[in-house]
Structure 1
């Protein structure tokens, strides 16, 4: 497999890196952006739209660029490198991916067009209190009301749900999981936003006979589209984590080179150097797993859910290792909110729990072991 970026992908990487590096060149800039709602810089989001980044994965007829998974993952990794708080994965990959897969031509033109232009923010309202990472959504119900539909129930956490202009909501319809579009000004919609521990934003969303529009065919089972979108998002989050881990390792290595103890740099102590080398191994294993999952997503989409879980499991282990070691090797300063490595570790931890943690992915993968047949041992 060739994991090398071509010239256009390198140009995209450099352009996004330049924009996000200027906006979040220090952890203080990121802290300022997340200090107040909506938890990210609206101007930076608009600049990403102007560059065509928000339109990358969508078909040209829907107002997109028509790029593939590799280009999306290039952007996700750059988002992770500087901990950019903009909801690229949440809005473009996850919510936008569902519109592209399930929406009618009119819905795609409106919703994707608005998202790509930076004029409208989409958010997926899928997770429900007390339920773990499942493609089902039994606690929010959809009911026919005259010529339309209404929703009842609670979704939480809804990432960037308080700021979103449009919510894509999963709901139970006669035992199936269907998708609905809810506008921010809909009646019976209650949204309570809050700050998460990594500085991002989420919301408690309650639907009380809230008018909703079916996404695509009314009442159609959206499980397959949801699984595909979750797989794409898991791979994108894996690349975001790789970007974050790369910066955490670079920051730690620089600290070991410059910080002195007993009159010599910390890198002089072999035990510390070995620990940094182990961080590098974890990072490269995660990078390889994420790149492989991206190729599977592009060439064999039917295998994407399993590949995404494999990559997410590897990234879960690596993220915990790299984040904890970055803090430990920095000593006391690594525990302070003023220093960057703690923020990187917080984001890595948050990503690990967004769409299933390592234990959840391992449980799903173990359940399918018997599907792969028997391998004869080597003599």
Structure 2
């Protein structure tokens, strides 16, 4: 499969780029932060995403969506990353839709997602960094289950309508679709370094019906995480790409020692190296997206994409700060926002070391 976009995908990129840059630029994030907004994103903007059809990219045509794939979804996510747009697109239109496909819950939640009225959050993490253990219990109770335990770092968990919850049953791991309005569920929101909001969720005997189970065993959770990790990787590419553009722009205008600093060969080499690293990372993401779309085993490609985008984007923001000098760390300058977002995204769903270790184990090391 060629590692470039088709003409139709390029048109989608142009549409997404124009829309996100106009309606959700970095200044939008800044305004939400300065206003101490407690939602973390604009619901009006989320509905505008839906109006353009973005929220239905992965939803099958038979259920009202566009029936496209992860390549197209990643195009939108890259533009979200370029503009640091606060949006539940990754958790809702990517991860949740992928998890709900083919289940009885799809007909319940897809219309709201298509209309931009429903927001989903992923309740997976529980404790220390990238801990794979799931201790939240799902015990049989009548015709359904009773959920007891807690989850941490649930992005949009305080504002979501739907929670996708990984829990432990007598038979093993299961994935549940839980309405956020369920009795016994509380959310304690916390603002993260990048001004996004995540929540600690407490499940105190939350009762759900048997049809809330949307997957059993490791396969359902693995599929959800593959979609989420690939999406986060696409967003990281956007963050890194915008940082590179800002840095090159600065190198072209900042003068020192009587010359534009971009004329210094040492800085040219660093910028060229950064460009090449981001292009390799972008290719890794596209490969993972293509494998997900064809239904092939994408586990190693997804891990590679997340590891490489974490490395490349971290390099981008570090080099950006270095080449901008002191101004790069001021709050008035946007570069600091990119550094913070890169940090959060790099940790989300497993950092570079986590995925590099997974690749090493798969190779027999």
TM-score range, shorter chain: over 0.9
* Cα distance change on mapping 1:286 and 1:235 into 2, 3 Å: same
Who is 2:205 aligned against? 209
Query: Given the alignment of the two structures, is residue 251 of structure 1 paired with residue 246 of structure 2, yes or no?
Result: yes
| CA offsets 1:314-361 (integer angstroms, 9 cap, x no match) | 112111111100011000011112211121121111111111111111
Are the aligned partners of 2:28 and 2:85 in contact in 1 as well (CA < 8 Å)? no
Structure 1 residue 185, shift from structure 2 partner: 2.0
Are the aligned partners of 1:63 and 1:109 in contact in 2 as well (CA < 8 Å)? no
Structure 1 residue 226, shift from structure 2 partner: 1.4
Distance in 1, matches of 2:360 and 2:3, equals 28
* Cα distance change on mapping 1:30 and 1:150 into 2, 3 Å: same
* Cα distance change on mapping 1:215 and 1:131 into 2, 3 Å: farther
Structure 1 residue 133, shift from structure 2 partner: 4.7
TM-score w.r.t. length of structure 1: 0.91
Distance in 2, matches of 1:97 and 1:222, equals 16
Who is 1:19 aligned against? 19
What are the residue-to-residue correspondences of 1:191-210 with 2, within 5 Å?
Answer: 191-210=187-206
Who is 2:55 aligned against? 54
Are the aligned partners of 1:257 and 1:266 in contact in 2 as well (CA < 8 Å)? yes
Distance in 2, matches of 1:174 and 1:284, equals 46
Deviates more, 1:139-148 or 1:326-335: 139-148
Structure 1 residue 96, shift from structure 2 partner: 2.0
Who is 1:363 aligned against? 357
Q: Which of 305, 310, 313 is 2:299 aligned to?
A: 305
Unaligned segments of structure 1, at least 5 residues? 372-379
* Cα distance change on mapping 1:9 and 1:214 into 2, 3 Å: farther
Query: Given the alignment of the two structures, is residue 32 of structure 1 paired with residue 31 of structure 2, yes or no?
Result: yes
Distance in 1, matches of 2:246 and 2:211, equals 45
Distance in 1, matches of 2:211 and 2:20, equals 33
Unaligned segments of structure 2, at least 5 residues? none
Structure 1 residue 148, shift from structure 2 partner: 2.5
Q: Which of 161, 165, 173 is 2:161 aligned to?
A: 165
Query: Given the alignment of the two structures, is residue 179 of structure 1 paired with residue 175 of structure 2, yes or no?
Result: yes
| CA offsets 1:245-276 (integer angstroms, 9 cap, x no match) | 11100100010111111232111222122111
* Cα distance change on mapping 1:52 and 1:320 into 2, 3 Å: same
Structure 1 residue 305, shift from structure 2 partner: 1.6
Who is 2:9 aligned against? 9
Are the aligned partners of 1:170 and 1:179 in contact in 2 as well (CA < 8 Å)? yes
Are the aligned partners of 2:303 and 2:355 in contact in 1 as well (CA < 8 Å)? yes
Query: Given the alignment of the two structures, is residue 111 of structure 1 paired with residue 109 of structure 2, yes or no?
Result: yes
What are the residue-to-residue correspondences of 1:92-241 with 2, within 5 Å?
Answer: 92-101=93-102, 103-104=103-104, 107-130=105-128, 132-134=130-132, 136-137=133-134, 139-214=135-210, 221-241=216-236
What are the residue-to-residue correspondences of 1:334-353 with 2, within 5 Å?
Answer: 334-353=328-347
* Cα distance change on mapping 1:269 and 1:131 into 2, 3 Å: closer
**2:152 alignment partner, SS class:** strand
* Cα distance change on mapping 1:229 and 1:185 into 2, 3 Å: closer
**1:303 alignment partner, SS class:** coil
**1:207 alignment partner, SS class:** strand
Query: Given the alignment of the two structures, is residue 283 of structure 1 paired with residue 281 of structure 2, yes or no?
Result: no
Who is 2:287 aligned against? 292
What are the residue-to-residue correspondences of 1:80-95 with 2, within 5 Å?
Answer: 80-95=81-96
* Cα distance change on mapping 1:215 and 1:58 into 2, 3 Å: farther
Query: Given the alignment of the two structures, is residue 260 of structure 1 paired with residue 255 of structure 2, yes or no?
Result: yes
Structure 1 residue 24, shift from structure 2 partner: 3.0
